Amino acid sequence: MEISDDQIIERTLAGETDAFSLLVRRWERPIYGLSLRMLGRDEDARDVCQETFLAAFRNLRKFRGDAKFSSWLYRIALNACHSRMRKRGSVVEQSIDLEDDDGRKFELADSDAELMPERMQRDQLAVQVRKALHALPPEMRQVIVMKEYEELTFAEIAEILAIPVSTVKSRLYTGLQQMRVRLEKLRTAL
């Protein structure tokens, strides 16, 4: 059976500090994904990832077993994202990476979408999604990111953000509404 997060934490706290790297391997992908979608830039997401695991390691003794370790980790990562956004202010939106999975940069083309190969259309759509997501207020963006990409439950998101489940749901609702409007606008602009 796979060793649980709590068991790894116990081992780490008992002095086996290398055990912590198991937690890093296990959670780096979701934490990176969350940070990338919150901040839009690979470099920032990597930094936040690093900061998150360092902060978790340093504060491991403060972690209470009543919440899931992943929830605690997500919360640390979101805090790191928010403080980065505050520091950078509006710069973030302008410097969002517009790359596909292979790291190629994209420009929003103004040519006829009908004539483009399917892959290009999909990539362009992904760029629009990034832009639309980044134009959302962070409170809504984080709920969409956690629900849509991290596939967390409403209860888990509520725990991470320390807000009621009903607030999570109404933020998600409003976020989706705004995404819908923004995506429609971007589509017609093409």
Partner 1 sequence: MNSTNKNQLACGRKEDLVTYLYGEATAAERVSFERHLNECDDCGAELNAFGSVRDDLSTWQVGFAPRTEFVPPKTRLDVVRELIGMFPVWARGLAMTGVAAAVVLMALSGFGTRPGISNSAGLSEQQVQEIVSKAVADERAKIQQQYQAELASFKTQLVAEHQAQLQLVTAEHQAKLETVKAGLRAEIKKANQQNGSLRSFFAIEDDRSYPWGDSR
Per CB under 8 A, residues contacting partner 1 are 15, 17-18, 20-21, 24, 28-29, 32-33, 36-37, 42, 46, 49-50, 53-54, 57-58, 101-102, 122, 125-126, 128-130, 133, 144, 147-149, 153-154, 166, 169-170, 172-174, 176-177, 179-181, 183-184
Cβ nearer to partner 1, comparing 42 with 139: 42
Helix (H, G, I), strand (E, B) or coil at 136: coil
1/14 with CB nearer partner 1? 14
Least Å distance, CB 18 to partner 1, is: 7
| Cβ neighbours of residue 11 closer than 8 Å, sequence gap 6 or more | 19
Residue 26 Cβ, how far from partner 1 at the closest point, in Å?
11
Q: Which is nearer to partner 1, 61 or 86 (CB)?
A: 61
Residue 145 DSSP label = I
Minimum CB separation of residue 118 from partner 1 in Å reads: 12
Give the DSSP H/E element, type plus range, for residue 96: none
Find the helix or strand (DSSP H, E) in which 72 lies.
Answer: helix 69-88
Residue type, 98: L
Which one, 83 or 153, has the nearer CB to partner 1? 153
Consecutive H or E run containing 5: helix 5-13
Taking the complex as a whole, the smallest distance from the CB of residue 172 to partner 1 amounts, in Å, to: 5
What is the rounded CA–CA span in Å between residue 119 and residue 6? 43
d(CA 31, CA 114): 37
Looking at the Cβ atoms of 1 and 129, the one nearer to partner 1 is: 129
CB of 4 to partner 1, least distance (A): 19
Radius of gyration of the chain (CA): 19
